[in-house]
Structure 1
Amino acid sequence: MILFMMAMVVKSYRNYHLATRIGYIVLLGMEVVSTITSGFILAYGYIKQEKIKKLGKFILIMAIIITLCGMLNPKFMSMGLNIMGLTERLVIYSLQIMIFVLSIYYIKCDK
């Protein structure tokens, strides 16, 4: 993910206006930090609670999938493979599944 972020920053510095470059870097940094760390922090908190260890393990698995697929993007780009869309979809769909499961848990099970 860090390599992908660095590659996108270099690309933005070559092609875009200064305001766009700064905004892009700020937003990209916030997205990386908030998405990845929140998954691991949620997993840690749920694993520490007695009743919902399974939910914590599920979230941990999803956070690992999100991180690994995000890290594979620049690797696949450097290898010239045309499957970056697949790995990006794995990141997005993993995040959506994680949020869906959390929503279902808090709607149905947390009473």
Structure 2
Amino acid sequence: MDSMKGQGGIQMLLTAEQEAQQIVTAARNLKMTRLKQAKDEAEREVANYRSYMDTEYQNKISETSGSSGSTAKQLEAETDKKIKNLKETSSRVSPEVVGMLIKYVTTVKT
């Protein structure tokens, strides 16, 4: 009778082990499924963010390139004005500077 009881206990242990193995396998499968879903969600979010940032970048590029022609013309006009002012100032001061240089070069200190 004890051997029957022992056989029943072993059978119960084997059944419990099989059930535990099935539970562990189901949990692993569920975990893998959830990880795959999380990965897919993350990839979608990255793609959406990349698309958004690319659109923003293209908008910035179009804003700056559209006005670059007028900006270049404005800078050119300002540069021409500054060059003209420098030439006028140098032509006004040039005789004084030349005279001062001649005076210092020809003066002998003793």
TM-score by length of 1: 0.28
Select the structure with the greater relative contact order (CA < 8 A; seq sep ≥ 6): 1
Instruction: Give the structure with the larger helix fraction.
Output: 2
